[in-house]
Amino acid sequence: MTAKYLQIAADLTNKIKHGQYKAGELLPSEPVLSELYGVSRETTRKALAELMSAGLIQKLRGKGSVVLDRARFAFPVSNIETFDELNKQEQMHATTEILQFNDTKMPSSITNQLDITEPAATFVERLRSINHEPIVIDQDYILKKYVPHLTIEQAQKSLYSYFERDLGLEIDYATKTITVEPADKKVIQSLQLEDTNLVVVVRSLTYLKDTSFFQYTVSLHRPDKFKFVDFARRKAQHGRIIL
């Protein structure tokens, strides 16, 4: 049973998504929503806090909660985090080619910093293409401790749905860095780079709900196909540019 406030948040999100509450309009006030859903005001406020942190509404003291216009930008790609989900939702001919698949250890650049007791890992390198254009190379190091029996078939599909649905792993948070770096010849060839030797490198350290580190990913993006979108509130700081 999921919590009431999450159900309410999901319901409100849907209603915004489908235009029942339009950008620029005010949502019903907290007491009204509370009456509507049959919950206390605090529960309603928790639901609204979810929409707030997702950038869907802005709460204005003394006035109400406005629906933000960001919906226009955010929704078409919302909740798409993996290549596989993208493939299903959009009408695109997306393919995944496995370049490498073997046992290895977590790179020392990671184990140096995180004191990992069992560095045994599976390495998967995949080339992702859309409409026969290579877009990105994903290099994944997945700790054997949490995913002992990864097969090449699962890597062909979606790793995340295997982790979460089949294995029940609860992926919770990640730290990411984005840089631009020169690529080696193999990468240049795989991504069919022509005018440049630079690629966008996204490095992700992914953690489970219980704070255990379990996956390191290096994504090499073709610079002309890369776009990163961020919504950031001033105080609770997320993305940050370091000079």
Partner DNA sequence: TTATATTACTTGTATAGACAAGTGTCAAAT
Partner DNA sequence: ATTTGACACTTGTCTATACAAGTAATATAA
Which residues contact DNA by CB under 7 A?
Answer: 1, 3-6, 27, 29-32, 38-43, 45-46, 48, 59-65
Mark 10-49 with x for binding to its own copies (rule: CB under 8 A) and - for no binding.
----------------------------------------
Taking the complex as a whole, how short is the minimal distance between the CB of residue 62 and DNA, in angstroms? 3
Phi, psi of 54 (to 5 degrees): -85, -5
Phi, psi of 102 (to 5 degrees): -160, 170
Binder to its own copies among 3, 36, 77, 98 (CB under 8 A)?
77
Element spanning 113, H or E: helix 108-114
CA distance 198 to 82: 23
DSSP code, position 26: B
Query: According to the binding rule CB under 8 A, does residue 2 interact with its own copies?
Result: no
Closer to DNA by Cβ: residue 50 or 85: 50
Q: Quick count: other Cβ atoms within 10 Å of Cβ 219?
A: 21
The helix/strand/coil state of 95 is strand
Mark 142-161 with x for binding to its own copies (rule: CB under 8 A) and - for no binding.
--------------------
Closer to its own copies by Cβ: residue 108 or 211: 211
